[in-house]
Structure 1
Amino acid sequence: MKILDFLVLLGLHSAAAVIHSLKYIFTVSSQVPNFPEFVAVAMVDDVQISHYDSITKKAEPKQDWMNRVTEDDPHYWEGHTAICLGYHQLFKGYIETFKHCFNQTGGVHILQWVVGCDWNDETGEFNGFRQVGYDGEDFLSWDVKTNTWIARKQQAVITKNNWNNDKERLALYKYSITQEFPDLLKKLLKYGKSSLMRTELPSVSLLQKTPSSPVSCFATGFYPDRAEIFWRKDGEELHEDVELGEILPNHDGSFQMNVDLNLSLVTPEDWRRYECVFQLSCVNDDIITKLDKTAIQTNWSKTGFPLGAVVGPVVVLLLLVVGITGYFLWKKNNNGFQPANTSDTL
């Protein structure tokens, strides 16, 4: 499984379970023009909460409620910045090691390190993870149950053996995942409760590119991302002639998704038998939109959906992908990043 696929899977939540997540994502690059050599981002429930890069050399909150961390630690952001400076050097060393494993001497290369935990607040179960990617592919992963590294490439075997022989570091890994991360996630959820645990219903529209195109049922502005959308006919959910899109982020922290219905075999007389259904977790009532020609929004004189419905989401998605692939997160203490003496617990 590719590192980006891994990140996407981490972000998916079932509509039935209440899953919260804390992720730290680090990225260090070599010879990438016009991009910071080192970037770090922290995310709670897939919402970015902090940012650091090697150009600004300053750790900053990305949510207003993250300023509350100074209530417990007045020097949190200064300490966070100092730790990021140290991690920059640590990961520069790692990327040189990995280049040596592949007999590489130069060129563009990217190392990604993802670490964090998921928490099911219904069952109380925590699941920790730590994974390393190199040039867009899995390189190493850490097994929380056995507390060992697993090589995902033949070139990673030597590194795996070296890291598994460092028992002190492995013990720190175990402690951070099973003790510090769960405590920090709970604390951050408390800080951001009004934002992270809010419920927002979407606006739902019917969109169509041309008279012969599928009709898209487009829901935007909902939160959280534990949602489903589907077409049904005569009260029965359709599985054929439909195409479900991904849940995507909006610029304001809410989400959007769509499902397309192919009308090529639907007669005008049968339109009234179709409806789009949107369901949001923790909300009992469905949002139902009848298939109605007069309700369809279109822009046939141009080349697609209204710009506000399509261009904005595409730009936001691209920014998110860049953010996830280019941002780092590190390890958490009760208030966040650990001081230098625990920098080896990545």
Structure 2
Amino acid sequence: SSGSSQMKMKNFFLLFIFCHVSLSVKHSYTDFFTTSTGISNLPEFTIRLLIDDALAVYCDSNKTFEPQRDVEEKLFKGEPQLLEKYIQLCFERLPNFFKTTLNTLMKHLNQSGGVHVLQILLGCEWDENTGEVVGFLQYGYDGEDFILLNLNKLTWIPLKPQAVAVKQILDADEAIMKEFKVYLTEIYPEWLKLHLKYENNSSLRPVPPSVSLLQKTPSSPVSCHATGFYPDRVDMFWRKDGEEIHEDVDHGEILPNHDGTFQMRVDLNISSVKPEDWSRYDCVFQFSGSKDIITKLDKAEIRTNWGTRSEFRAAVIGVVVGLLLLSITGLFIWSNKKKMNGERQIRFHSFLENLFLSCRITHISFKSIHLKSVFILKE
């Protein structure tokens, strides 16, 4: 019948859409560049290369160049010419260009001194199945979105009124825009594929997480926090009486650690949970090929920064966060991707909340902070 045929076509269409979406595998190559003025005792610039949101390479103005994973160690041994290109980019091309850009911004914003920070995100996203490549380049200035490059139209798009005058200057240098387009849509994708090739050939095995219950104050939500797991294909949720719950639950993003592993958290609002009902709740971490990790909601298991030594802990945490803020407030992550005039707009937002989650509890673990660059992504 006609109705039956239409239903079959509808089901086929939905199946086609589902298969198309599920088969899409995207990878990203992202450089985070930071330079500043008015801040002493810190590197003049830092660059972090992330492959699929995992830190792969770190370099700075102190001539530090550090592969962060075994994958990159093997890559640079097997591809020495790529290592030479990376070193040239880290210590010559990118710093020289972007330090000049910072001076240009300050000049046209009538800023002769003080503390100012320029952050640049540049890279590409490659769809493994379709071959589609999307390049992106965006500037953040003093912690806010500032301007981005539309690679299709080769023009700069202001994200703040103050960026309009700067746009005219940047638009005048068409050669630089064309060079960026070549790097972001041709060269970077090829480098990304090399990283992925060595990653696929490496012996990266699944790594289980460390799971903790964290709480800032007695009235705060209880965070179920898992860190140190690999890969990032995991699930974590709260249950009540063995059934997954969604009400009063806030799911955080899966975020990268500096060592190539990942972290995530799921918060449970306990304001309406009676003390006698706590035992009915548990947090479940599901990991492919592994047994579920179940953590009971138990006051004795919660790590807090309140209690007899809370003032001391708060003071220490305040110092840590203050140092991080002074060290260029470099805790920004690429997320909330939005289409804007045909290009991806990258939102800069502070990663401090997630740092707090790791550092604000009964002790501060510095093993997760790269001591040569205290403003590293996450922990």
Q: What percentage of aligned pairs have identical amino acids?
A: 43
Structure 2 CA distance for partners of 1:137 and 1:315, relative to 1, 3 Å: farther
Q: 1:311 to 1:142 in 2, by over 3 A?
A: farther
Q: Does 1:80 align with 2:86?
A: yes
The residue correspondences of 1:278-293 to structure 2 (distance < 5 A) are: 278-280=285-287, 283=288, 287=292, 289=294, 291=296, 293=298
The aligned counterpart of 2:244 is: 237
Task: Identify the residue that residue 65 of structure 2 maps to in structure 1.
Answer: 59
Contact 1:24/1:114 (8 A) holds in 2: yes
2:260 aligned with 1:253: yes
- TM-score for both structures, normalised by structure 2: 0.66
Q: 2:165 aligns with which of 137, 143, 158?
A: 158
Q: How does 1:1-346 map to 2 (within 5 A)?
A: 18-56=25-63, 58-71=64-77, 73-83=79-89, 84-193=91-200, 198-206=205-213, 215-234=222-241, 236-250=243-257, 252-267=259-274, 270-271=277-278, 273-280=280-287, 283=288, 287=292, 289=294, 291=296, 293=298, 296=301, 303=310, 311-312=363-364, 316=368, 322-323=375-376
Aligned equivalents of 2:232 and 2:264: distance in 1? 9
Change in CA separation of 1:98 and 1:257 when aligned onto 2, cut-off 3 Å = same
Structure 2 CA distance for partners of 1:127 and 1:151, relative to 1, 3 Å: same
Q: Deviations for 1:274-294, whole angstroms, at most 9, x for unmatched residues? A: 3323245xx277725263649
Q: Which moved more, 1:161-170 or 1:185-194?
A: 161-170
Q: Deviations over 1:223-259 (max 9, x none)?
A: 2334432213355533333344554555643223333
Q: Does the CA-based 8 Å contact 1:277-1:286 persist in structure 2?
A: no
- The change in CA–CA distance for 1:269 and 1:152 in structure 2 (over 3 A counts) is closer
Q: Is the 8 A contact 2:282 2:295 kept in 1?
A: yes
Amino acid aligned to 1:296: E
**Alpha carbons 1:208, 1:296 under 8 Å: kept:** no
Partner of 2:351: none
Q: Greater RCO between the two (CA within 8 Å, min separation 6)?
A: 1
Q: Alignment length, in residue pairs? A: 309
**Cα shift readout 1:148-194 (whole Å, capped 9, x = no counterpart):** 21112233223323333433333322222222222111111112336
Runs of 5+ unmatched residues, structure 2: 1-20, 314-356
CA distance change for structure 1 residues 238 and 148 in 2, over 3 Å: closer, same or farther?
Answer: same
Structure 1 residue runs of 5 or longer lacking an equivalent are: 1-13, 326-346
- Counterpart amino acid of residue 63 in structure 1: R
- Give the Å deviation of 1:23: 0.8
Q: Deviations over 1:10-63 (max 9, x none)?
A: xxxx9997442211122221121111212222221222222322223x534333
The amino acid of 1:65's aligned partner reads: V
In the superposition, the TM-score normalised over structure 1's length comes to 0.71
